[in-house]
A = this chain, B = another copy of it.
Amino acid sequence: MEIIITKTAGFCFGVKRAINIAFRMAREKRKGVFTLGPIIHNPQVVEKLTEKGIVPIDTMRTKKDIRALIVRTHGIPLDVSQELEKKGCEIIDATCPFVKKAQYYAKLLSEEGYQVVILGEKNHPEVKSLMSYAGKHAIVVNAQSSLPRLKSRIGIVVQTTQPLEALKKVISDATAHAKEIKVYNTICNSTAQRLKETAHAAAKVDVMFVVGGKNSANTTQLTKLCKSLSVPTYHIETSSEIRTTWIRRAKKVGITAGASTPAWIIRDVENRIRDIGG
């Protein structure tokens, strides 16, 4: 059996950086260091960190003694970080630098008087953080949205993990509404690259494994892509989920993984498949 692992499977630059920051905090053994929400969309990594004392909290309304907060790759809303600073809580900023850039552009467009349109998923924490920078007339749309009535000067920024096709569609729709459009294409290259390599691998294999958190948007996107290419595709979090029957007759197996999947989980999956495949 041949196994193809995509080169871009696993941690991207921003996630690597955030995880390094979190584990460094764990090594320093400081008291009262939390993350707001899981640091990445991967339960196994979050569990490891929790064991080492870096615990995620869901809300700031807690009785815990929060002395420092690690901001995860998605960033946090401006008002939340201002509130934290007011309370004397130290902010350890692990926001992905590409998300930071998108936040900056959202703010800039708003200051330049544009109505800011954010392409992304409304409930995603990255989009919530972008919204907080985008001024009071800002709206969130996705590729399925039909645009509401817009102002005549539109500024567009994009959740970093959106596909380029979605951006093309939204710009095209906005062109019929607005007289002036300014677009910052803040789509992260690594997402596009991962999608491209995954499609390439999926076209060559009998079975495809997508490894990553079930709550990870970019992992789910990879699964969708593979399924759309009519390859039998399994979205798994760990090797323990793999059933022998899935790969019994496969000659070529592909593995890809989301940006929040650690290398050791991918290796585990590879080993398990090799064990079954013989």
Inter-chain contact A183/B182, CB cutoff 8 Å = yes
| Sample of 27 A–B contacts (CB below 8 Å) | A164-B175, A164-B176, A167-B175, A168-B172, A168-B175, A168-B176, A171-B171, A171-B172, A171-B175, A171-B181, A172-B172, A175-B183, A175-B185, A178-B185, A179-B184, A179-B185, A180-B182, A180-B183, A180-B184, A180-B185, A181-B181, A181-B182, A181-B183, A181-B185, A182-B182, A182-B183, A183-B183
Which B-chain residue is minimally distant from A178 (CB atoms)? Answer: B185
Distance from A88 Cβ to chain B, minimum over Cβ atoms (Å): 38
Give this chain's copy count: 2
State the CA gap A185–B183 with chains docked (Å).
13
Q: Mark A32-65, 1 if CB is under 8 A from B, else 0.
A: 0000000000000000000000000000000000
Q: Which 10 A-B pairs have the closest CB atoms?
A: A181-B183, A168-B172, A182-B182, A179-B185, A168-B175, A171-B171, A180-B184, A172-B172, A167-B175, A171-B175
A162-202 interface mask toward B, CB cutoff 8 Å, 1 = contact, 0 = none?
00100110011001101111111100000000000000000
Given contacts A175-B185, A181-B183, A182-B182, 7 further A-B contacts (CB under 8 A): A167-B175, A168-B172, A179-B185, A180-B183, A180-B184, A180-B185, A183-B183
Q: Taking the nearest CB of chain B, how far is it from the CB of A127, in angstroms?
A: 20
Interface set, chain A 116-155, CB cutoff 8 A to B: none
Chain B residues with Cβ under 8 A from A181's Cβ? 171, 181-183, 185
Cα-based distance from A180 to B164 in the complex (angstroms) = 14
Chain A residues numbered 182-229 whose CB sits less than 8 Å from any CB in chain B: 182-185
Size class of the contact patch on chain A: 10 to 19
Question: Which partner residue on chain B sits nearest A153 by CB separation?
Answer: B184
Report how far A164 CA is from B178 CA in the complex, Å.
Answer: 12
For the complex, give the distance between the alpha carbons of A185 and B164 in Å: 22
A172 / chain B contacts, CB cutoff of 8 Å: 168, 171-172
A44-94 contacts to B, CB under 8 A, are: none
B residues in contact with A179, CB < 8 Å: 184-185
In Å, the complex CA distance between A167 and B172 comes to 8
Chain B residue with minimal CB distance to A167? B175
Chain B residues near A164 (CB-CB < 8 A): 175-176
**Chain B hits for A184, CB < 8 A:** 179-180
**Separation of A273 and B274 alpha carbons in the complex (Å):** 83
Smallest Cβ distance from A46 to chain B, in angstroms? 33
CA distance A181 to B181 in the complex (A): 8
Residues of B within 8 A of A185 (CB): 175, 178-181
